[in-house]
Structure 1
């Protein structure tokens, strides 16, 4: 679907993707990052998490400039690629377009990630599977730009929390204490005072 959702993550609120795409297309930095990521031709890739959430929440708060650090999370899925390749990709991206890149191959996350209680995660099946397991629903979002400059969205938890300014847990993986701790670490209340934190 053009500038729309994959079948695995269709939303009832179909107007929200359009709002998101408009914000992204108006942001020259994020569009440049999308083009830089696309140039790597990685399988099943998305820019994800904070770089999207931060943009939307800054806009919804009326900020003319970014409210804080704007790291760029690039995720992809390639079981054949060695884990150390992620660092090579980060260095390549930062040389081409310095932006504080963090690159993570979701095919290897199960080797090092531990959940809120220290429990290991099961092996992921795709990037979308990885997105669906991130702690906050407003962060479970990925965007990519195809060869025709069409935006593609993955939103396994929907976009409602993103646009209603909710920082709450993804019930599939996180408890409320984890989400509250992460909100403090990321200074959510100070950075975006209209955000409602917790369940």
Structure 2
């Protein structure tokens, strides 16, 4: 089974993913990451032997800036990213304000926010250091994504209300139709 270092190597070898990461890096956002499906789908595609990249519903760029939590800033960043790489479904969110939307206590960082994503296999993020070296964060680990297991994160397991959100996402995303070998837990 792959290690975090091997996943990082696969990302480094993917010119398109590096181009997307460099576009996000160019804004010098504090505590920025591209997360969720951008990372997970790459891994699942490789584990399923896909010859083509599975289309992404969005490219989640997150950052953490408690000094400016205006949603308009995020929309302007999406427009600027679209000017750099058009035709991508950019989604930019400042995690310093997302606790309000998600009805939780404030996050302390972007990694804290990622740890509270619904699925452990999606609680992944990538960023670039000053030398464009890929850094992977996986606050819930990489076991589930590598073993094609979809499970709620510990944060979501702790609430019946959040588990309902998890179940709705699983039903609506229909990931098991795209990646047939997935094992989905927690939907009963």
Q: Common fold, TM-score beyond 0.5?
A: yes
Distance 2:166 2:179 in 1: 16
Determine whether 1:91 maps to 2:91. Answer: no
Q: In the alignment, which residue of structure 2 is the partner of 1:116?
A: none
Q: In the alignment, which residue of structure 2 is the partner of 1:140?
A: 123
1:108 to 70, 83, 97: 97
Unaligned runs of 5+ in 1: 1-12, 114-119
- 3-state SS, counterpart of residue 112 of structure 1: helix
Equivalenced residues, count: 180
Query: Given that residues 167 and 198 in structure 1 are in contact (C-alpha distance below 8 angstroms), is that contact kept between their aligned partners in structure 2?
Result: yes
Deviations 1:17-37 (A, max 9, x none): 112112212222111010001
- 3-state SS, counterpart of residue 103 of structure 1: strand
Per the TM alignment, residue 70 of structure 1 is displaced from its structure 2 partner at its CA by: 5.2
Q: RMSD across aligned C-alpha pairs, in angstroms?
A: 1.6
Q: Describe how 1:16-55 pairs up with structure 2 within 5 A.
A: 16-55=3-42
Per the TM alignment, residue 195 of structure 1 is displaced from its structure 2 partner at its CA by: 0.6
Distance 1:188 1:134 in 2: 16
* More divergent stretch after superposition (44-53 vs 147-156): 147-156
The structure whose residues are more often helix, as a share, is 2
Q: Describe how 1:110-125 pairs up with structure 2 within 5 A.
A: 110-113=99-102, 120-125=103-108
Distance 1:106 1:158 in 2: 20
Q: In the alignment, which residue of structure 2 is the partner of 1:74?
A: 61
TM-score by length of 1: 0.85
2:149 to 166, 177, 194: 166
Distance 1:110 1:177 in 2: 18
Per the TM alignment, residue 68 of structure 1 is displaced from its structure 2 partner at its CA by: 2.9
Deviations 1:140-161 (A, max 9, x none): 1111011211111211101111
TM-score by length of 2: 0.89
